Amino acid sequence: MKDFDHIMTLWQEQPVHNKLSVDEVLKQVKRDVSGLANKLRWNIITIVSLIIFTAVVLLFFVFTVPTYIGISIMMATMLFYFATINRHYRMLSKHDATMSPTDYLDTLHEYQQQQSKTAGWFYYIYVLMISLGLSLFLYEVLSTYSIYGKLVVYATMAGWLLFCTFYLKRRIFKHEQEKLNVMIDRLERLKSQFE
């Protein structure tokens, strides 16, 4: 009888594995991915608006050659960014989590890899090219400013870009990575539940 009681206590001490509700997990993942897709959609709308505005400025105002070069560099960089976020948006919106969770999990892994590339080398190239374009653009715009006015504007621009690059970028991408990791973890736990 003691052996039976001992086995019973061991049995009761076994950890209970939380079973995930398939519907609940898929709803949460779908909602989170929908939030990411909406954010990308707004980014696309914003960048298209900026590209149109830049094209209007480029076509209807007369500038010197450095200013045209600066605007062209900024426009090319924005087009490259548009192509990148458009690819991310299509990647997220092409699958439905309720159709095939395994394929969806693969898509989220692919998106996560693309996002880490964007957070890495692409972001620094983007900031460098926008800075170069802005500097060339501001060369003519600030030509009537005193040397101190130019220094204040350039220092403010440099400070803002450094703040965005070394503080905001880390926080934003870290937050998005955490959300992605939670979604991927939920789907992987759900997948392992059925294996």
What is the model's pTM?
Answer: 0.75
What integer pLDDT is reported at residue 152 of this predicted model?
94
The answer to whether residue 153 scores a pLDDT higher than 80 is yes
Identify the DSSP state of 121: I
CB distance 80 to 136 below 8 Å: no
Q: Express each pLDDT in 75-117 by its tens digit.
A: 999 999 999 999 989 888 876 655 666 777 788 888 888 888 7
What region does 27 belong to: left with phi over 0, alpha with psi -120 to 50, or beta? alpha
Closest CA to 165 of 134, 195, 122: 122
Closest CA to 186 of 20, 17, 15, 16: 20
Distance CA(193)–CA(20), nearest Å, equals 8
Identify the DSSP state of 166: I
The answer to whether residue 17 scores a pLDDT higher than 60 is no
Question: Residue-wise over 148-169: b if at least 16 C-beta within 10 A, else e?
Answer: eeeeeeeeeeeeeeeeebeeee
What integer pLDDT is reported at residue 61 of this predicted model?
86
What integer pLDDT is reported at residue 14 of this predicted model?
61
Q: Does the CA dihedral 151-152-153-156 come out positive or negative?
A: positive
Q: What value does the CA radius of gyration of the chain take, rounded to a whole number of Å?
A: 25
The answer to whether residue 170 scores a pLDDT higher than 90 is no
Q: Express each pLDDT in 52-72 by its tens digit.
A: 998 898 889 888 888 899 989
